[in-house]
Amino acid sequence: MASTAKDVRKRKCISHEQKVAIIEEVERKAKLQSKICKEQGIALGSLYTILKHKDKILSVYRQGLFSQDRKKMRRSDTDDVDRALYTWFKGARVKHVPLAGPIIVVKVKDFAERLHWKYRMVGPL
């Protein structure tokens, strides 16, 4: 049987803030989960996935690791390089050092080498 346009539900990206609101609503037990799904426009399976990852979602949300409207919780593979570069960047800005792309690229290569990461250029600069 062919599905109609009505049957096919579009994918919906949900922000962390919305996920936290959904979790809180489910925990209050004021409404049925199916009713919450209809109001939010998500599938019941999506709700179950949100509830399965509830601890991780709430932890990240409370720690403020990501902006509230961010939809995915992916972190960089080179988190230590990113932190080192950001610390250097803030220090350079305080000293009013003019920073341009090539200078930053050199610093990234330097930090990657010091922290034993293989540097690879992604995108134009």
Dump pLDDT digits (tens) for 7-31: 556 777 888 888 888 999 999 987 8
Residue 125 lies in a domain: no
Q: Work out how many domains the chain is built from and give that number.
A: 2
Q: Is there a single domain that holds both residue 48 and residue 84? A: no
Residue 122 lies in a domain: no
SS3 of the chain: CCCCCCCCCCCCCCCHHHHHHHHHHHHHCCCCHHHHHHHHCCCHHHHHHHHHCHHHHHHHHHHCCCCCCCCCCCCCCCHHHHHHHHHHHHHHHHCCCCCCHHHHHHHHHHHHHHCCCCCCCCCCC
Residue 104 lies in a domain: yes
Per-chain mean pLDDT for the chain? 78
Residue 59 lies in a domain: yes
Range of the domain at 49: 16-63
pLDDT value, residue 125: 46
CATH number of the domain to which 42 belongs: 1.10.10
Does residue 5 register a pLDDT over 60? no
Q: Is there a single domain that holds both residue 87 and residue 59? A: no
pLDDT value, residue 78: 67
* pLDDT band with cut points at 50, 70 and 90 for residue 103: confident
Residue 124 lies in a domain: no
Whole-model pTM? 0.52
Residue 8 lies in a domain: no
Residue 68 lies in a domain: no
* pLDDT band with cut points at 50, 70 and 90 for residue 51: very high
